[in-house]
Amino acid sequence: MGAESALERAVARDAHTGYGVESLKFTPLGETGIPDRWFLIPGGRPFLIEFKAPGEEPKPKQDYWIAKLRRLGYDVEVHDTYEGALEAIVLRLRKALA
């Protein structure tokens, strides 16, 4: 398992066990570049994260999809650390529950 995959799995696991946030691994057939995981924040708005290994940047196709989804109003971020990704999820969860 690579660093990116391990990071994604750890964040998804701890978001669920620590905060009750469900997530979906999104793997569309025939399309690449879609953010890796969709976190289901209360209120009906998913939070999408593109996970990268520490220090890596998104590929051009990933940048394309991130920009497109943002233009459509989706909340999308790129994270390469456990702390940053989990903090972003918790922030959105707190806002949704406030």
37-41/45-51 β-pairing: antiparallel
pLDDT in tens, 50-61: 999 999 999 999
Cα separation, 94 vs 75, whole angstroms: 15
**Burial category of 58 from C-beta neighbours within 10 Å (exposed 0-12, middle 13-18, buried 19 and up):** middle
Residue with tokens 């196709």: 61
CATH code where residue 67 lies: 3.40.1350.10
pLDDT of the chain, 98 residues: tens digit per residue:
688 999 999 999 999 999 999 999 977 777 889 998 999 999 888 999 999 999 999 999 999 999 999 999 999 999 999 999 999 999 999 999 99
Global pTM reads: 0.93
Total structural domains within the chain? 1
Instruction: Tell me which residue range forms the domain holding 32.
Output: 3-97
